[in-house]
Structure 1
Amino acid sequence: MTEEGQDDRRHHVPLLDPAGLLDILESNRRLTLRVIQAFPDDALFSYKPVEVLRPFGEMVQEILNIEDDYVRGIALGEWSFGKVADNARTKAELLAVCEQVRARTRELWPRITTGRLLQVEPDPFFGGPPQSHFERLVYALENEIHHRGQGYVYLRELGIEPPLFYER
């Protein structure tokens, strides 16, 4: 406890800890799931404010495909660009794929060590520069946050109050 009486455990957690990283991913996913659940069934895969944007359901498919591909690649060294979420066409199907992908992440996560996170390898998909696996997972997290923010805007445009950001 600090002098102010606040729990100060965060200062004793290693900066790069796979379990802590998974906790961050889980917290963010809980919020993303709440955004998905807030969408009307008929709008999740159809509503977009302008033609050049995608419906939120398609953005979530991308989030899930990236997670599945990156976690499998980092944990097993098997890099393939999959489309695990592309067949989901309803809210129920998308939520089921969310759970399937996250269950696979939880299953493989014990193989993701700090050393593996720090390992730098060439970009397996997009031809970008080499990067660490930690950077890949941060990219996946940033991508999810970005698209979730778009989902918030879409919900507001549909007249729906989005979930509170701080409730995870």
Structure 2
Amino acid sequence: MVLSKDGLFEILEGNRRLTMRVVEAFPKEELFHYTPADKLRPFAEMIKEIMNIESAYIRGIALHEWEFQDSFAAISTKEALISACEAVRENTRRLWQEVTDETLEVVEKDPFFGPAQSHFARIQYGLENEIHHRGQGFIYLRILGMEPPEFFVRD
């Protein structure tokens, strides 16, 4: 493995801090209702997806309990969304202690999305999904006439 467990987690943490700054930059109403086109989702829905994937993968990787639930569908306020994001990340930090470098190398069929892959690849997928949706949030903010957070700041 080229990247250690701790190195990977620092990347995840830096990305999450940036994602949360994007959430915080959104006006309350637009966070849950604005889309620039009919087929797109509000940014809050993308954040709920990120949390669902993170919750399912970390529980599966750390505890071998594979269950995908839409645990955040009822959230409808910015404060509740931020609080849920903090709770999910706190749970991830706690469960991360159960993960080893060897655990990340384990290859299994993905119980949610199909093909066999390593746990590291699952974490990478979750990160790439977060980055993709965060980029959409950047675009939404710009369309709304707002300046998104600085991309290069991860602390």
Same fold by TM (over 0.5)? yes
Task: Compute the displacement of 1:135 (Å).
Answer: 0.2
1:114-168: per-residue Cα shift (whole Å, max 9, x none)?
A: 1110000011112x21000000000000000000000000000000000000111
| Match of residue 63 from structure 2 | 76
In structure 1, distance between residues paired with 2:135 and 2:153: 15
Higher relative contact order (CA 8 A, sep 6+): 2
The correspondence for 1:36, drawn from 17, 23, 42, is: 23
| Match of residue 16 from structure 1 | 3
| Match of residue 112 from structure 1 | 99
- Moved beyond 3 Å, runs of 4+: none
| Match of residue 59 from structure 1 | 46
Task: Compute the displacement of 1:15 (Å).
Answer: 2.1
TM-score under structure 2 length normalisation: 0.97
TM-score under structure 1 length normalisation: 0.89
In structure 1, distance between residues paired with 2:30 and 2:153: 23
Q: Give aligned pairs, total.
A: 154
The correspondence for 1:129, drawn from 105, 115, 137, is: 115
- CA RMSD across the alignment: 0.9
Amino acid at match of 1:130: A
In structure 2, distance between residues paired with 1:84 and 1:117: 25
Between the aligned residues of both structures, percent identity stands at 57
In structure 1, distance between residues paired with 2:17 and 2:41: 22
The correspondence for 2:78, drawn from 74, 77, 91, is: 91
| Match of residue 153 from structure 2 | 167
Greater gyration radius = 1
1:101 aligns with 2:101: no
